[in-house]
Amino acid sequence: MLVSAAATQMNVPAAELTTANHEVVHAKSGKKLGIRHARRLGGEAARAQGCRSEVQAEDGVEIRRQGTQIYDLNNIATGKAEFGLDVYREGMVFASVEHPPVVGGTVKSLDDKGALAVKGVSQTVTLDAPKPPLLFQTLGGVAVIGNSSWAVVVQGRKKLNVQWNDGPHASFTSEPFKAAMIERVKQPAKACRNLGNVDAEFGKGGKVFESVYYTPMAAHASMEPPAAVAEFKNGKAEIWLSDAEPAGVQDTVSAALGIDKKNVVCHVTLLGGGFGRKSKPDYAAEAAILARKLGKPVKVVWTREDDIHHDFYHAAAAVYHKAVVDSKGKPTAWLHRSVFQPIGFDFRRAGSAPVRARPGPQRRRVRRP
């Protein structure tokens, strides 16, 4: 369509035209027409004719990228780009948090003598356990504070001796949860969509196929584990982090500190891989709380193990399929059941209903078991 429009404009055969560098080119005469102009003419012609364009694939077509495709590409390639772990503030200390192994757990007893004996570790700080609904609050635990990530992450936390009260979710494990979902999905459920009578079709005989599939909870595993820097001064908080939703950071940090969200400023670095995890700013809340407690900038660093253990997992699901085919191999009936908890249900208050009805029971999953 672009070429046809340009051919009409230039009064030359369309077969003599090529495209290159954002232009339609007529090599014989040296005439050129900008793609933007040709596109406008082509669009007008298409609307006038009431037709749609069709893309023609041709052998030997050269496809080239022009210029820099990503604004930050040069900085990324040369190591100058800033990710969450790269942020530094004058007077900043490092923090790494030993979270309770079970969501909702609390510290029963703490012996931090070993951690405090590590060179570079200055103190430990106990973080309060969250109150439901959990949303993106901190998980609580014990933060080790020091002058380097090596001191607090690699050395200090390993020396902590923490005993935990696991709380009401201590009995949760994945295998019984999986077994319950698979058992439930084999049973009749509320119909979400029903066309025809599958039971009648199954009763007519034929070759029957049945399968059950299960998807476990899956971690995001972003390339850069969560990290955030926070500074708190004069009742205002500034946060530097890799995050996909700055407004969500404002909401979470303002709630954690009990301040108006207009007093929370969020500086977004390059994401370091997000995959959905970095729209959930619990680690930003940790940094903000610690910055206010300590009166100085704090960088919170999560390890890869922290990231996997304390992620917001993708919802588990069990699916049951049953189908029957006739003598010619043609499917005549198909039954599909699914059991899962809607992802959004994790972020509403306990007991609230899902947005829309789903087949099977609605199970409430404990966040980050």
pLDDT of residue 366: 33
Q: What is the pLDDT of residues 270-308, one digit of tens each?
A: 999 999 999 999 999 999 999 999 999 999 999 999 999
Residue 10 lies in a domain: yes
- Residues of the domain holding 42: 2-49
Q: What is the pLDDT of residues 301-322, one digit of tens each?
A: 999 999 999 999 988 999 999 9
* pLDDT, mean over the chain: 87
pLDDT of residue 352: 43
What's the sign of the alpha-carbon dihedral 347, 350, 352, 353? positive
Residue 272 lies in a domain: no
Q: What is the pLDDT of residues 136-145, one digit of tens each?
A: 999 999 999 9
Q: What is the pLDDT of residues 159-212, one digit of tens each?
A: 999 999 999 889 988 899 999 999 999 999 888 889 999 999 999 989 999 999
- Reply yes or no on whether the pLDDT at 56 is more than 60: no
Give the neighbor-by-neighbor strand order of the sheet with 207-215: 207-215, 317-325, 331-340
What's the sign of the alpha-carbon dihedral 21, 25, 27, 29? negative
Residues 182, 318 contacting (CB under 8 angstroms): yes
Residue 194 lies in a domain: yes
Do 44 and 179 lie in one domain? The reply is: no
Do 39 and 188 lie in one domain? The reply is: no
What's the sign of the alpha-carbon dihedral 176, 177, 178, 179? positive
Q: Which residue has the higher pLDDT, 38 or 86?
A: 86
Residue 189 lies in a domain: yes
Residue 126 lies in a domain: no
How many structural domains comprise the chain? 2
Q: Which residue has the higher pLDDT, 359 or 170?
A: 170
Residue 84 lies in a domain: no
pLDDT of residue 286: 98
Do 194 and 341 lie in one domain? The reply is: yes
Residue 284 lies in a domain: no
Residue 254 lies in a domain: no
Residues 313, 219 contacting (CB under 8 angstroms): yes
